[in-house]
Amino acid sequence: MYAKSLGDDGAELRPLEPWQAGEFLAHMDRGREFIGQHNGLPDVVTDLESSRAFLRAYAERAAADTGRIHGIWADGRLVGAVILRTMDVGQGVAEAGCWLEPSAVGRGLVTRAARAIVDWAIEERGIHRVEWVVSSDNGPSIAVARRLGMTRDGVLRESHPFRGRRHDEEVWSVLAPEWRAGEEAS
């Protein structure tokens, strides 16, 4: 297995695989309420089998080159993840996303991990456009999109039914030339 350092604080980005279902479930249990404010994943990953099934689905996406999931480890513990929820290499389009448990908030982990996965999608897989779709109520995730140099393309009004209410979703994106220009400037 490999790990990518996320900085000098010891945080790492690593692939998440089905054999890590127990660790993934424990992470989800620690952050269930916090993550579930804007993300339906805690409603899906509720026991060991559903945890394994979720990670298996991403293993199949990785094998088909249509998606990826990487865990964020801090202080030796899984505390979050970044994903390429969808990835169409032929069309050159992918959608990235993330989540983090409360114990790891405020350390820049998601921004650093998202930067790594977006960079990989653009530079290694030739993706031209990476999207970030986020609830308009999710200020921290919108802040990550901004820090990544993404542009807000628009708002899909009341497009996402979640826990009994329809939510607006914002679509943010970065194009490969913009990404490269931003990376050179930093």
Fold of 4-185: Aminopeptidase (3.40.630)
Residue-wise pLDDT tens digits, 67-120: 999 999 999 999 999 999 999 999 999 999 999 999 999 999 999 999 999 999
Residue-wise pLDDT tens digits, 39-73: 889 999 999 999 999 999 999 999 999 999 999 99
φ, ψ of residue 93 to 5 degrees: the values are: -130, 140
CB 152 within 8 A of CB 170: yes
Q: How far is CA 177 from CA 56, 89, 129, in A?
A: 33, 16, 9
Give the residue among 87, 97, 98 at the shortest CA–CA distance from 64.
87
pTM to 2 decimals? 0.92
Give the residue among 74, 86, 95, 84 at the shortest CA–CA distance from 30.
74
Domain ranges of the chain: 4-185
Q: How far is CA 185 from CA 55, 121, 174, 178, 182, in A?
A: 36, 19, 15, 11, 5
Helical (H) or strand (E) element with 43: helix 41-44
